[in-house]
Amino acid sequence: MWALQKAYYRTYQFVMGLGMNFLPWLEPEIVEGAGSIKKLPSVIKWKDIKSVLIVTDQGLMSLHLLDSLFEALNSARIKYALYDQVQPNPTIENIEAALKIYNENKCEAIIAFGGGSPMDCAKVTSARVARPGRSVTRMRGLFRVILPALKMGSVFPPAIFAVPTTAGTGSETTIAAVVSNTQTHEKYPINDPVIRPRYAVLDPELTVGLPPHITATTGMDALTHAVESYIGKFYNNTATSVKAVLAVEMIFNNIEKAFKDGNDLEARGQMLLASYYAGYSFTRGAVGYVHGIGHNLGGMYGVPHGLAMSVIMPYVLEWYGEAAHKPLAELAEAAGVSKMGMNRAQKAKAFIDAVKGLNSRLNIPSKFDCIKDEDIPTIAERAMYECNPTYPVPKIMGKEDCIAVIKSLKA
């Protein structure tokens, strides 16, 4: 029975891979460089948008990171409303509150300012604007926003202008948003091409104030996106594979520089671009079990997403074994950690060891102390529900396999 189930998963993924060729892959336009946030109002004005909702969080407000944006919007005479209560794992309540402000102020577009959480909140808020009769829960999974539009001829969501303040999530270019349900303690993705931002503002000055531990975990999050996308089957094309390799190379060359010296604008800029490339790659190439397990540790215990990715990645890569040796060996060469004379398996191991080494040098722990034995079967079941059959992983994991991996993560 398990063999038949795996065959079904692979058939599903193969068909999905073919279907990818027919989706509207509209890539965001990039506005980049130090101080580029000040260029955003002119772009908005050029689009003839007169009122926007800004979605952000209290931490960024307290750091006054949005002050230059507010000033530039005022100078351009663009009206804005503000929702600044996004939580680290954005909830359905956050989305509904942002939607209320959007509607009350007759906004026409959304500026997502921050890390992955404000961007995810903004994306799903945008979807709710276009689908007022469809709850967030009903948008869970694949294409639950675009399909009603195609069926009913209804409007597409309002434009999103994404301004990342971390170099990690890649949310400024992805079709994914992750939502937490506070009632069920679930954390799940919504994937749809119509929630992809139209513009991405990559301004390294906005990341200068990031604490080292956030720089580390968000950077490793970007690495996870690139790695999981690259080693997956069926969905990738030449462009996504090339960008994944570039992202890996750039992260290995710059993450420790940005971690040690937060004022290094060159390293910060390279990390932002690497995050964008990684996001571009997994937007089509998808992710895998690192994300499936990590999302559910986040939903169950509130583990920050970047930290979850950092810790889990080496364990899952090791579990894949020989099935992932070829792509991991190629990434080892891109990262500069392979040596002359190494065979494929040795290169793959060198790459996994290099990830562990990065984690150690970035002061990221190797285990979690929050995992409770009684929760592990539920976490595994939810992870399998998210991943199978959708994610085109190198080797298919069953519930018992997942339980074993989660147990190995427990301190």
| Residue 142: pLDDT over 90 | no
**CA–CA separation, 231 and 233 (whole Å):** 7
Same domain assignment for residues 157 and 37: yes
Same domain assignment for residues 237 and 369: yes
Look up the pTM and report it: 0.90
Same domain assignment for residues 9 and 138: no
Each residue of 310-362: pLDDT tens digit? 999 999 999 999 999 999 999 999 999 999 999 999 999 999 999 999 999 99
Q: Is residue 27 included in any domain, yes or no?
A: no
C-beta separation of 59 from 87 below 8 A: no
Each residue of 236-257: pLDDT tens digit? 999 999 999 999 999 999 999 9
Q: How does DSSP assign 142-185, residue by residue? A: ESTTHHHHHHH-PPPPPPEEEEESSSS--TTT-SEEEEEETTTT
User: What's the confidence (pLDDT) of residue 201?
Assistant: 96
User: What's the confidence (pLDDT) of residue 310?
Assistant: 97
Same domain assignment for residues 363 and 397: yes
Q: Which of 186, 207, 228 delimits the end of a domain? A: 207
214-230: average pLDDT:
97
Q: Is residue 201 included in any domain, yes or no?
A: yes
268-275: average pLDDT:
96
User: What's the confidence (pLDDT) of residue 84?
Assistant: 97
Give the strand order in the sheet containing 186-191: 141-142, 186-191, 176-181
What is the DSSP pairing of strand 109-114 with strand 141-142? Answer: unpaired
**CA–CA separation, 354 and 399 (whole Å):** 28
| Residue 209: pLDDT over 90 | no
| Residue 269: pLDDT over 70 | yes
Same domain assignment for residues 248 and 216: yes
Each residue of 52-89: pLDDT tens digit? 999 999 999 998 999 999 999 999 999 999 999 999 88
| Residue 192: pLDDT over 60 | yes
28-37, 99-108, 113-122, 149-158: the lowest-pLDDT one: 149-158
For residue 49, count other CB atoms closer than 10 A to its CB: 18
DSSP-derived letter for residue 253 is H
Q: Which of 175, 207, 239 delimits the end of a domain? A: 207
267-289: average pLDDT:
95
| Residue 14: pLDDT over 70 | yes
- Per DSSP, which regions of 8-47 are E strands? 29-32
CATH of the domain at 379: 1.20.1090.10
Q: Is residue 127 included in any domain, yes or no?
A: yes
C-beta separation of 208 from 170 below 8 A: no
User: What's the confidence (pLDDT) of residue 151?
Assistant: 52
Q: Is residue 23 included in any domain, yes or no?
A: no
Q: Is residue 262 included in any domain, yes or no?
A: yes
For 133, 167, 203, the CA distances from 279, given in Å and listed in that order, are 30, 10, 16
107-125: average pLDDT:
95
| Residue 154: pLDDT over 80 | no
96-119: average pLDDT:
96
Q: Is residue 260 included in any domain, yes or no?
A: yes
Same domain assignment for residues 254 and 377: yes
Quick one: tokens of 152? 């009913």
Same domain assignment for residues 156 and 267: no
20-34, 35-49, 200-214: the lowest-pLDDT one: 20-34
With a CB cutoff of 8 Å and minimum separation 6, the contacts of 11 are none
- Domain total for the chain? 2
Q: Is residue 44 included in any domain, yes or no?
A: yes
Q: Which of 191, 207, 223 delimits the end of a domain? A: 207
Same domain assignment for residues 215 and 198: no
Same domain assignment for residues 295 and 189: no
Q: How confident is the model at residue 25 (pLDDT cuts 50, 70, 90)?
A: confident
Same domain assignment for residues 226 and 194: no
Same domain assignment for residues 173 and 268: no
Same domain assignment for residues 185 and 237: no
Q: Tokens 């005022």, residue?
A: 74
| Residue 191: pLDDT over 70 | yes
User: What's the confidence (pLDDT) of residue 11?
Assistant: 97
Q: How confident is the model at residue 148 (pLDDT cuts 50, 70, 90)?
A: low
CATH of the domain at 136: 3.40.50.1970
Three-state secondary structure call for residue 304: coil
**CA–CA separation, 316 and 10 (whole Å):** 19
User: What's the confidence (pLDDT) of residue 150?
Assistant: 54
Q: How confident is the model at residue 374 (pLDDT cuts 50, 70, 90)?
A: very high
Q: Is residue 24 included in any domain, yes or no?
A: no
**CA–CA separation, 262 and 265 (whole Å):** 8
User: What's the confidence (pLDDT) of residue 26?
Assistant: 81
Buried b (16+ CB within 10 A) or exposed e, 372-388: eeebbeebbebbbebbb
- Write out the residue range of the structural domain in which residue 77 sits: 33-207
Sort 311 into a burial class: Cβ within 10 Å, 0-12 / 13-18 / 19+. Answer: buried
| Residue 40: pLDDT over 60 | yes
